[in-house]
Amino acid sequence: MYALALLVAAGLYLRELVTGTTDVASAAALSLVVTAIFTVLLAAMARGWFTGRRWPRTATVVWCLLTLPAIWTLNTSNGLLVAAPLAVLSIAGLLAAMSSPAADLPEDTVH
């Protein structure tokens, strides 16, 4: 879900750059690059979940924890209507990742 939202955001930044409607082209370009990178990373994480891998568990927990301060900032600047759905999505992702089984790591053997 986040990856799709970031893909839309990247498209909006690209449109601003192409049409010249941005005030600061370098800021829009940097935002485009950052959102594109995070889109790819989140899509890889989603693919890992859908293919049954266990490595996305930690990445999901980290992502959800990192989004909470950003959501709090959105709450103070844009209001509860923007922040509440994102908070619900982030907390649901955190709970889902925490309830998934941890990776089975091989036991250390002393030789």
Q: Are residues 10 and 41 in the same domain?
A: yes
Decide if 101 contacts 54 (C-beta within 8 A).
yes
Q: Are residues 33 and 59 in the same domain?
A: no
pLDDT at 75: 84
For 49, 54, 60, the CA distances from 103, given in Å and listed in that order, are: 13, 6, 14
Which domain does 78 fall in, by range?
54-102
Q: Which two tokens stand for residue 99?
A: 């309830």
Q: Are residues 10 and 42 in the same domain?
A: yes
| Distance in angstroms (rounded) separating the CA atoms of residues 63 and 6 | 14
pLDDT at 103: 63
Decide if 71 contacts 83 (C-beta within 8 A).
yes
Q: Low-confidence residues of the chain, pLDDT below 50?
A: none
- The DSSP letter of residue 111 is -
Let me know if residue 23 belongs to a domain.
yes
